Amino acid sequence: MGYVGPGLVLRGDLRGEGQLRCDGVIDGNVALQGALVVGRSGKLVGAVRASAVAVEGVLEGPVSAGELNVLVGGRLVGDVRAARIGLEDGGSLEGTVDMEVDLPEEAS
């Protein structure tokens, strides 16, 4: 599992497979075939595309993910496109969510 420790700063684009946890700073885009966790002390500024994203720290940028979870203390600023979204009480989300919604026939 990839790990960006606190105090480490990455400026640039990261792509590949596998899990990644960021407790440091990533200033750039991230594309992962796997899960991305932005930890409590972590900050990510850039577009994110991953199979799953969990935000415990700060994420600023558009997110495209199979599943997104903003956890307690997490802050996400950006538009979201995801199949599943979880926003915990105590987490913050500022942006537009784009998700497939199956309304009952009467509503459509």
Which positions lie near other proteins, rule CB under 8 A?
1-18, 20, 24-25, 28-29, 31-33, 45-47, 49-50, 60-62, 64, 77-79, 81
Find the shortest distance in angstroms from Cβ 84 to other proteins.
Answer: 17
Name which of 5 and 86 has its Cβ closer to other proteins.
5
Spatial CA neighbour of 59 closest among 89, 21, 3: 21
Find the shortest distance in angstroms from Cβ 11 to other proteins.
Answer: 5
Classify the phi-psi angles of 3: left when phi > 0, otherwise alpha if psi is within -120 to 50, otherwise beta.
Answer: beta
DSSP 89: B
Find out whether 53 and 69 touch, Cβ atoms under 8 Å: yes
Name which of 13 and 86 has its Cβ closer to other proteins.
13
